[in-house]
């Protein structure tokens, strides 16, 4: 029946994945619009239950995956390429980085770059720390880097590495279900695999919709500041329609002509804004603060990565860390596939180092310039930033820029950057969802990509009308759990495949259970000893 419907509509898809995903998304919008309060309330209850009972699971999973990726990078598997042994990267390092940044957390940094440090500075989460104290300032920067540094990019890097490895080295389809081929075998291309891809599609839709919702709130605040446009639900829906239309145009142009050029333009604009704030802001204070923040972050990371508020009854982690991890996990399929798409030819060591550390370094600079400058403004009493953030985080960056020279120009540039980040997130996600819902031998139809761009806009508008920021946080925290579980299985499948690859076994031998027979145990031990001996000799 679904295949007949596909032929009638002239689509090129995997019917079970496309129509199931589209149907669930449509059903959510259809139910959430007339019953917005009930939907928001139920997701709030579900999020509360998850935070109380499974918050530790999110935190343990992400921190363990970070250790796993770093271990792969420094291990013998680090030299394995995402492709044939003689393959080389498709993009230069600079182009690769700009695309990583635009597809990853550009919108998030614009929203929280001022709001988060100022919020933690005024309301420290750690017991015994005085608000607005020197300790509170240092902790605020450390927490911001924790939330947007190595841990966030671990969540993106895990599926990106696995997808790139299986797609380019073993010629499997670039879909999340392919990652489970070492576990499921041929069943990865049937209903079991389709179910995995549906989870990935829905996570991507709602994760990106959350980012679009936050971007819309901030864009509306900027337009209100510049032109007096009211910050209301109808205005935000209109903004989503406009930006979705721009994204649909970009996604119709494809990866190289659309997403790549927008990404390069946006990184130039973002760097211009950074340079401006650094030049006219407290430059020496920023420089000193960034150096100190690196040390504070490195020092606090081992315990902060496993901190679960066990001995307190605070709701802080639910509102901040769990929301971030679930949000990032939910759209990890999209960012992972996008990163894999632009990373062919790189070694595992290059991939892990680039995806984890380059964006983290940029995050340090971003929060160092915006966050430290905003903390200095709050300390000096120029503007009550903390109070404005408490009332509406979306106005934070514009309230901060108002304290600088050429505030109108800087705010206008910020609006442009937000629009482009908004667009690149939507159009690259549409390209990825289209890849998840069709076979590799099927053409990518423009109307399918446009449909997914429109679906993201519709979900974002629905969530905003259903409760704004609270609804965005609650829905995404609940929906991140299924893919969090998939990330664990993904790491297991990748490690099994890498072990087999290193010892010269094919993927079929691994699936059929012939990669590690018991009779070869002795030879494996010998290989291990030879490897250790070679390593010792080299050093």
Match 């979306």 to its residue by tokens. Answer: 394
Q: Are 72 and 383 in contact (CB under 8 A)?
A: no
Match 């007339």 to its residue by tokens. Answer: 34
Whole-structure pTM value: 0.85
Triad 189, 484, 199: Cα angle to 5° = 40
pLDDT at 338 (0 to 100): 81
Q: Which residues contact 224 (CB under 8 A, 6 or more apart)?
A: 230, 231
Alpha helices in 33-133 (DSSP H): 36-74, 93-103, 106-122
Domain total in the chain: 1
CA distance 407 to 377: 14
Is residue 531 assigned to a domain? no
- Give me the CATH number covering residue 290: 1.20.1740.10
Q: Are 131 and 123 in contact (CB under 8 A)?
A: yes
Is residue 536 assigned to a domain? no
| Nearest CA among 380, 375, 367 for reference residue 290 | 367
Q: Are 343 and 81 in contact (CB under 8 A)?
A: no
pLDDT at 263 (0 to 100): 67
Is residue 44 assigned to a domain? yes
Is residue 66 assigned to a domain? yes
Is residue 517 assigned to a domain? no
**Full DSSP string of 500-527:** HHHTT--HHHHHTT-SS-GGGHHHHHHH
| Nearest CA among 111, 118, 108, 101 for reference residue 371 | 118
| Nearest CA among 52, 77, 23 for reference residue 501 | 77
Phi and psi based region of residue 171 (left: phi greater than 0; alpha: psi -120 to 50; beta: remaining): left
Is residue 511 assigned to a domain? no
Query: Could you tell me the mean pLDDT of each successive run of 10 residues in the chain, 539 residues long?
Result: 82 90 90 78 80 89 97 94 89 79 68 90 91 93 94 94 93 88 85 90 84 82 83 86 80 59 76 93 93 95 92 83 86 84 92 91 91 91 82 86 90 86 77 86 84 88 73 73 89 91 76 53 42 41
State whether the Cα torsion 52-62-305-422 is positive or negative: negative
pLDDT at 536 (0 to 100): 36
**Full DSSP string of 47-70:** HHHHHHHHHHHHHHHHHHHHHHHH
CA distance 405 to 383: 14
Is residue 514 assigned to a domain? no
pLDDT at 123 (0 to 100): 92
| Nearest CA among 13, 471, 488 for reference residue 210 | 471
Is residue 515 assigned to a domain? no
pLDDT at 209 (0 to 100): 82
**Full DSSP string of 404-445:** STTHHHHHHHHHHHHHHHHHHHHHHHHHHHHHHTS-TTS---
pLDDT at 460 (0 to 100): 84
Instruction: Supply the range of the domain harboring residue 401.
Output: 2-502
Q: Are 477 and 323 in contact (CB under 8 A)?
A: yes
Q: Reduced to 3 states, what is the DSSP secondary structure of residue 110?
A: helix
Q: Are 255 and 263 in contact (CB under 8 A)?
A: no
**Which DSSP state fits 259?**
I
Q: Measure CA 488 to chain center.
A: 17
pLDDT single digits (tens) 401-422? 989 999 889 989 988 888 887 7
pLDDT single digits (tens) 166-190? 999 988 888 889 988 888 888 888 8
């Amino acid at each position: 029946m679904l295949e007949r419907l596909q032929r009638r509509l002239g689509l090129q898809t995997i019917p079970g994945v496309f129509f199931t995903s589209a149907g669930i998304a449509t059903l959510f919008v259809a139910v959430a619009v007339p019953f917005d309060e009930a939907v928001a309330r139920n997701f709030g209850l579900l999020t509360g239950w998850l935070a109380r009972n499974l918050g530790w699971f999110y935190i343990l999973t992400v921190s363990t995956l970070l250790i796993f990726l770093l271990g792969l990078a420094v291990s013998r598997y680090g030299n394995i390429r995402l492709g044939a042994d003689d393959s080389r990267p498709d993009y230069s390092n600079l182009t690769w980085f700009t695309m990583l940044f635009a597809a990853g957390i550009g919108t998030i940094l614009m929203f929280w770059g001022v709001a988060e440090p100022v919020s933690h500075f005024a309301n420290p989460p750690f017991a015994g720390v005085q608000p607005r104290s020197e300790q509170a300032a240092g902790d605020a920067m450390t927490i911001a880097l924790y939330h947007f540094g190595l841990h966030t990019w671990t969540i993106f890097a895990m599926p990106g590495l696995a997808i790139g490895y299986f797609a380019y080295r073993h010629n499997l389809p670039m879909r999340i279900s392919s990652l489970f081929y070492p576990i499921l075998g041929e069943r990865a291309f049937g209903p079991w695999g389709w179910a995995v891809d549906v989870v990935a599609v829905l996570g991507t839709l709602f994760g990106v919709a959350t980012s679009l919702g936050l971007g819309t709130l901030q864009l509306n605040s900027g337009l209100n500041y510049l032109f007096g446009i009211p910050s209301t639900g109808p205005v935000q829906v209109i903004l989503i329609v406009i930006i979705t239309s721009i994204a649909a145009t970009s996604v119709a142009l494809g990866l190289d002509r659309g997403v790549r050029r927008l990404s390069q333009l946006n990184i130039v604009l973002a760097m211009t804004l950074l340079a401006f704030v650094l030049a006219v802001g407290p430059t020496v204070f920023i420089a000193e603060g960034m150096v100190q923040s690196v040390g504070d972050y490195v020092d606090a990371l081992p315990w902060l990565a496993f901190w679960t508020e066990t001995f307190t009854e605070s709701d802080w982690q639910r509102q901040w860390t769990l929301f971030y991890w679930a949000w990032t996990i939910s759209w990890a399929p999209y960012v992972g596939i996008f990163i894999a798409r632009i990373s062919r030819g790189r070694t595992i060591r290059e991939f892990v180092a680039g995806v984890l550390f380059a964006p983290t370094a940029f995050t340090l600079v971003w929060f160092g310039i915006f966050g430290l400058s905003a903390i200095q403004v709050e300390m000096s009493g120029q503007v009550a930033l903390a109070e404005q953030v408490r009332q509406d985080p979306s106005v934070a960056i514009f309230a901060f820029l108002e304290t600088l020279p050429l505030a109108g120009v800087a705010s206008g540039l910020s609006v442009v950057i937000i629009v482009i980040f908004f667009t690149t997130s939507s159009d690259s996600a549409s390209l990825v969802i289209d890849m998840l819902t069709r076979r590799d031998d099927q053409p990518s139809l423009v109307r399918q990509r446009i449909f997914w761009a429109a679906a993201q806009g519709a979900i974002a508008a629905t969530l905003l009308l259903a409760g704004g920021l609270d609804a965005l946080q609650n829905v995404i925290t609940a929906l991140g759990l299924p893919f969090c579980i998939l990330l664990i299985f993904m790491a297991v499948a990748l490690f099994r495949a890498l072990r087999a690859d290193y010892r010269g076994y094919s993927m079929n031998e691994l699936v059929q259970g012939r990669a590690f027979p018991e009779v070869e145990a002795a030879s494996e031990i010998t290989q291990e000893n030879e490897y250790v001996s070679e390593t010792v000799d080299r050093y």
